[in-house]
Amino acid sequence: MKKNVLLMVIALFIASLNLRPAINSIAPLLGNINAELGMSAAVASLLTSIPVLCMGIFPSIAIKASGKWGLERIIGLSLLVIGVGTVIRLFTHSVTLLLITALIAGVGIAMIGPLLSGFIKLHFPKHVPSMIAVYTVALTLGAAMSSSLSIPLQEIFHSWQGSLAFWAIIAFIAAIIWWLFVNLQVKKSAHTESGAMKSKLPWGSGKAWIITLSFGLMAILFYSFTAWLPQIIQGMGYTKSYAANALTIFVAIQIPVSLVLPIVLKKFPSRRLWLVIESLIELLGLILLVFKVEPWLASAFIGIGAAGLFSLNLLLPIEATGNHHEAAAWSAKAQSVGYVIGAAGPIMLGWIHDATNSFTSAVFAMIFITLLMIIVQIAATAKTRNPMDRVKKAI
């Protein structure tokens, strides 16, 4: 039994590695891709925005599919979709086909993302925090590896196409391991979460919309950094290699922050306090970029803020609700709508760059979004009065 559990943990880790390489491997190579394909900044931003937009559109489809064909089976198929979308990049010599690969890989990423959380709840009910840590660390590690190895892989394969397509190997290996370690051990899972399936998304709740907006603003900043941070740093006069290393710092520093934050929250549990602190740390990184002070240090501050804000925004809908069915519905809304909002970030920065021929205005735009996000966070963490309290006061 213990062996089976270990195999599932390994499968979960390797599957989670594939949630970011198709997105993060693009940014360090944008200069070469633009030079060969002649893309505008706005079009190039779609390579990041399309997968993020898929993450906002396809989760509901993934839930329905898993209910019909099984959670484990859909995760395995999603890994294959990611692999197919990534390997096609080896044969890409046009803007249209490259955007299509972003769409295919984005669908796979969008399908697998919410289902891995369900997989953890279904198979590790007594070890959810530990398995969430496995999931988060693997996701971040995949992002860091793809960011740092894109340029070295380009030099090895003598093409950006080969560098981008390399990550299909991990996706196909993950699919094989998933089928061997999970699908052959677990029969088609009969979803017992019927209550969660029947829960309606809280479209009429003002509190839920504020939480969703908080998640969306966080996502705008995160994916803007993922797409454009190397280009912003190169625009400051630094080399492509330096810019790629700065992006790696931005991603890699999120691993220890994600592990430490739960410990810190036990001692100082105020969600509002840490949301604002993490936002201010991210703001400090942006200010360093404005004044062109050590971009690697700016990237580190931005990464620290991004890691904390992601984890905290995942907590908000869970803690605002009374039971796990409501929590699932609120989380689904926050992430689906939030990712759609987040997809606008890279596009917005691309438009600003095309209009001004500079990233300076784009950095100021992100500073404005960060300040707006702090205001929304304060509103999102405001205590909601219980109607019964008003009755007691009246009595």
Determine how many CB atoms are found less than 10 A away from the CB of residue 313: 27
Q: What is the mean pLDDT of residues 151-176?
A: 96
Q: What is the DSSP string of 78-140?
A: HHHHHHHHHHGGGG--SHHHHHHHHHHHHHHHHHHHHHHHHHHHHH-TT-HHHHHHHHHHHHH
Give residue limits of the domains in the chain.
Answer: 1-186, 202-382
Higher pLDDT, residue 41 or 352: 352
Domain 1-186: assigned CATH number: 1.20.1250.20
Say what the pLDDT of residue 188 is: 45
> What pLDDT score was predicted for residue 212?
93
Topology at the third CATH level for domain 202-382: Growth Hormone; Chain: A; (1.20.1250)
The pLDDT tens digits of the residues spanning 293-309 come to 889 999 999 999 998 89
Query: What pLDDT does 13 receive?
Result: 94
How much is the pTM? 0.74
* SS3 call for 269: coil
Q: CB–CB of 246/299 below 8 Å?
A: yes
Q: How many CB atoms lie within 10 A of CB 269?
A: 9
Residue 69's pLDDT band (boundaries 50, 70, 90)? confident
pLDDT at 387: 41
- The candidate with the shortest Cα–Cα distance to 278, out of 262, 293, 257, 292, is 257
Q: What is the pLDDT of residue 190?
A: 43
203 against 211, higher pLDDT: 211
Identify the H or E element spanning 44.
helix 41-57
Q: What digits encode the pLDDT tens for the residues 77-134?
A: 999 999 999 999 999 999 999 999 999 999 999 888 777 777 777 787 777 667 777 7
For the stretch 306-345, pLDDT in tens is 988 988 887 787 677 765 456 656 777 787 888 889 888 8
State the residue for tokens 């907590």: 315
357 Ramachandran zone, left/alpha/beta (phi>0; psi -120 to 50) = left
Structure tokens at 389: 């309290």
**Of the candidate ranges 19-33, 160-174, 361-375, 378-392, the one whose mean pLDDT is the lowest:** 378-392
pLDDT digits 0-9 by tens, 182-200: 877 765 444 444 444 445 6
The pLDDT assigned to 67 comes to 73
Average pLDDT score over residue span 274-279? 96
The residues near 250 (Cβ < 8 Å, ≥ 6 apart) are 147, 225, 229, 299, 300, 302, 303, 306
How many C-beta atoms lie closer than 10 Å to residue 24's C-beta?
Answer: 25
pLDDT (0 to 100) of residue 152: 94
pLDDT at 68: 81
Angstrom distance (rounded) from CA 162 to CA 87: 9
pLDDT at 178 over 90: yes
Provide the b/e sequence for 95-117 (b: ≥16 CB within 10 Å).
Answer: beebbbbbebbbbbbbbbbbbbb
pLDDT band at 209 (very low <50, low <70, confident <90, very high): very high
Average pLDDT score, the chain? 84
Q: Which of 50, 39, 61 is nearest to 85 (CA)?
A: 50
pLDDT of res. 326: 67
Domains 1-186 and 202-382 share a fold: yes
